[in-house]
Amino acid sequence: MTNLYLNKGKEESLRRYHPWVFSGAVHHIEGEPKEGDFVRVLTHDGTFIAVGHWQIGSIAVRVLSFLDEEINHQFWTNKLATAYEMRKAIGVANNPQNSTYRLVHGEGDNLPGLVVDMYGETAVMQAHSVGMHNNRMDIAKALKDVMGEKLQNIYYKSETTLPYKADLGQENGFILGSTPDDVATENGLRFHIDWLKGQKTGFFVDQRDNRSLVEYYAKDRNVLNMFCYTGGFSVYAMRGGARLVHSVDSSQKAVDLVNANVGLNFPNDARHKAFAEDAFKFLDQMKASYDLIILDPPAFAKHRDAVRHAIKGYTRLNARAMEKIKSGGILFTFSCSQAISKEQFRMAVFTAATLAKRQVRILHQLHQPADHPVNIYHPEGEYLKGLVLYVE
Ligand code: SAH
């Protein structure tokens, strides 16, 4: 394995188990590793620190282990078994009511650059680094060994998540089995998962707990699910006894998906309607007839530089919803931008409340669920934040 030497003193964060080496910390590398190769990270004077995947960019190494070990079948098997055990322990795996969960959450499972979501007997695997892409077959084999009969298919879906410049020519497709059955259950509700063409791995698994809270508050309310995508929140609101549910997304494909998913659980239920419409346009034109609104927009800030612009976007969006929500209404508002902190998001919503001139109380502060764990040494892993507000 190639040795990489750090600049003097640059091992500090690694000694606290932070899993990244930034390129500025690198003194020199022996030989010429290719992107995605394994490297051993050493201090300036040659003391071993970690093993990881070498990559090109501001993060030079993503650490796989702080032990001086080989990354082999046993390594992948141990890591995946640990992740699977945890999902069983928290009740999302091996649960007859729930077959949709995140099995591997990158740094949160000490596997930086790897995401695996489970939908019934199908795993959708996503590599965010060239190293994980190179190791995908070894990982798939270990995954099958760990899960046995519970896993029949693995769909590899990394076309949009790998560095474009790496030019890997990878294609999405099944690397184990194949199945036309695309229905999975979440808390007893059924959903079509579009792993072939859908966003992310085909479904937003990270809103499971927050959808349950929407179900809890939905009774007898007029619900607006803005940025609905596959309609997770809509279906839960219907089970919760909403009076009506309106789902809005700018993409017609999303509108087709939400209609299919509502139909799967509540066939011919006239309470639901979906609209292919821009969020701001819909909010501007709608009547003030909703008393439960969900705002779950796409990440407004994908990078640090976009933060200021994104904060304005969150403010504008939330102000519109607060102006229009009925008195006594409940607003669920989210940000999934990693670059926006909890405090920044809360400040944006605070500004929105002052613009809308409404009395607003925070009922709940929401975050990602337990199958998207945050590695305590990698606080950057905390990305999903939400507020549930009571608007007087
Ligand atoms: N709430 C969803 C996930 C939302 S993903 C869930 O629980 O699964 C974000 C969605 O916002 C995407 O489906 C995208 O098509 C939609 N979107 C993006 N920009 C939009 C806009 N300006 N108006 C309405 N929808 C938009």
User: Is 245 contained in some domain?
Assistant: yes
The 10s digit of each residue's pLDDT in 229-247 is 999 999 999 999 999 999 9
pLDDT digits (tens, 9 = 90+) for 362-386: 999 999 999 999 999 999 999 999 9
Give the CATH number, domain containing residue 273: 3.40.50.150
Let me know whether 56 and 85 are in one domain. Answer: no
* Residues 380 and 273 both lie in one domain: yes
Whether 33 and 133 map to the same domain: the answer is: no
> Is residue 201 included in any domain, yes or no?
no
pLDDT in tens, 34-66: 999 999 999 999 999 999 999 999 999 999 999
Residue 195 counted as domain residue? no
Q: Mean pLDDT for the chain? A: 95
Protein residue whose Cα sits closest to atom 7 of ligand 1: 232
CATH of the domain at 132: 3.30.750.80
Mean pLDDT of 354-365: 98
| pLDDT-wise least confident of 140-149, 264-273, 280-289, 303-312 | 303-312
Q: Which of 201, 227, 230, 248 to mutate to test the pocket of ligand 1 (most atoms within 8 A of CB)?
A: 227
Instruction: Please tell me the residue having the least CA distance from ligand 1 atom 10.
Output: 227
Average the pLDDT over 77-99 and give the result. Answer: 97
In whole angstroms, give the CA distance from residue 368 to residue 172.
27
Digit-coded pLDDT (tens) for 291-350 = 999 999 999 877 777 899 999 999 999 999 999 999 999 999 999 999 999 999 999 999
- Give the structural domain span for 55: 2-65
In a domain, 158, yes or no: yes
- Domain co-membership, 219 together with 330: yes
- Please report, rounded to a whole number, the percentage of residues in the chain having pLDDT higher than 90: 90
**Co-location of 294 and 345 in the same domain:** yes
- The residue among 240, 272, 279, 269 whose CA lies nearest residue 258 is 272
Q: Which of 176, 336, 388, 389 is catalytic?
A: 336
Per-residue pLDDT at 25: 98
Same domain, 96 and 24: no
Are residue 162 and residue 238 in the same domain, yes or no? Answer: no
CATH of the domain at 13: 2.30.130.10
- Is 310 a member of any domain? yes
When divided into structural domains, the chain yields a total of 3
CA distance 325 to 198: 31
159-205 pLDDT per residue, tens: 888 876 667 777 789 999 999 889 999 999 999 998 888 888 889 99
| Predicted pLDDT of residue 159 | 83
The stretch 116-120 carries a mean pLDDT of 97
Say whether both 146 and 13 belong to one domain: no
Please tell me whether residues 173 and 277 are part of one structural domain.
no
pLDDT surpassing 90 at residue 98: yes
Residues 90 and 140 in one domain: yes
Q: Is 228 a known active-site residue?
A: no
Write down which residue in 26, 49, 65 finishes a domain: 65
- What pairing do the DSSP bridges indicate for beta strands 244-249 and 222-226? parallel
What's the pLDDT at 191? 97
Is residue 230 a part of any domain in this protein?
yes
Q: What does the alpha-carbon distance between residue 234 and residue 182 come to, in Å, rounded to a whole number?
A: 19
Name the domain boundary from 65, 92, 108: 65
Considering the domain architecture, whether residues 140 and 257 belong to the same structural domain is answered as no
> Does the beta carbon of 222 lie inside 6 Å of ligand 1?
no
**Strand ranges for the chain from DSSP E:** 2-6, 20-22, 26-29, 38-42, 48-54, 59-65, 100-105, 114-119, 122-127, 153-156, 173-176, 183-186, 189-192, 222-226, 244-249, 272-276, 292-295, 329-335, 360-367, 385-391
Answer yes or no: is pLDDT of 271 > 90: yes
* 358 is a domain residue: yes
Q: Are residues 217 and 330 in the same domain?
A: yes
Q: Is 166 among the domain residues? A: yes
Domain boundary among 65, 81, 112: 65
